[in-house]
Amino acid sequence: KAVPNTQFRVTGNGIDEIVTTGTDGLGFLRDLLEGNYVVTEISVPKPYVLNSTPMNITIVGGQTVRVTQENDEAKGRITIMKQDSATAETPQGEATFEGAVFEIRNSSNEVVQTLTTDANGQAVSALLPIGTYTVKEITAPEGYLINDSTFDVNIEYIDQNTTINEQKVIVKDDIISGTLDLTKTDISTGELLPNTKIAIYKEDGTLVEEKITDENGKAVFENIRYGKYYFKETEAPEGY
């Protein structure tokens, strides 16, 4: 593909000239003396990255030397970071940041990449062309509610010396939580029993919370984070 408006510096044999390519991607420097010269690209148009590798050429009388320089287009990369909406980089309970699935769509709403987060809650895209994209979570990781927001990402051309425009998207999910409603009764009469101390423990035995049943024999534990728990009566009411 021809690239116009590219500038080259030609030095050697007492000359120092700038050559600019036309719409056909060609630039010319005529009537050079025999000898050795160095051709160096010094400027390229958007969206290309400068290739400043010097090219050595030798001019022999009566000959035309053709020099070809290839340029890569600048690209972008999106890093997605999964976080907890309350604790940021630390998952709660037995939840995990691993396994969240995201779609990256281009400006035509076409899915260009599907990414899954690793154990650190991170997913990194392959290189993407300059342009606008959206990121959307399509599967939440274990223990979390899906974040149904759509995140816009604009991968812009920065300059001729920047190969990759790095973009980061932080997506925060709410933890799945529940309420545990316990009622203490007399095993024989069914009478509701207040003043019973009940404790909730994680599966590994870590105490989460203790409560005492009210006048209706109830103890309500709210906002219990995703995970496995067990409960135990730690103090019986008077007379039991």
Non-local CB neighbours of 73 within 8 Å, separated by 6+ positions: 47, 48, 49, 129, 130
C-alpha neighbours within 13 Å on the C-beta side of residue 171: 35
DSSP, collapsed to helix, strand or coil, labels residue 153 as strand
Local structure of 164: helix, strand or coil? strand
pLDDT tens per residue, range 168-227: 999 999 999 999 999 999 999 999 999 999 999 999 999 999 999 999 999 999 999 999
Give dist(CA 142, CA 120) in Å, integer.
14
Q: How far apart are the first and last CA of the chain?
A: 88
Q: Which residue has the tokens 């599967």?
A: 139
pLDDT of residue 61: 86
Name the pTM for this structure: 0.82
Residues contacting 190, CB < 8 A, separation 6+: none
Of the chain, the percentage scoring pLDDT greater than 90 comes to 94
Tens digit of pLDDT for each residue in 107-139? 999 999 999 999 999 999 999 999 999 999 999
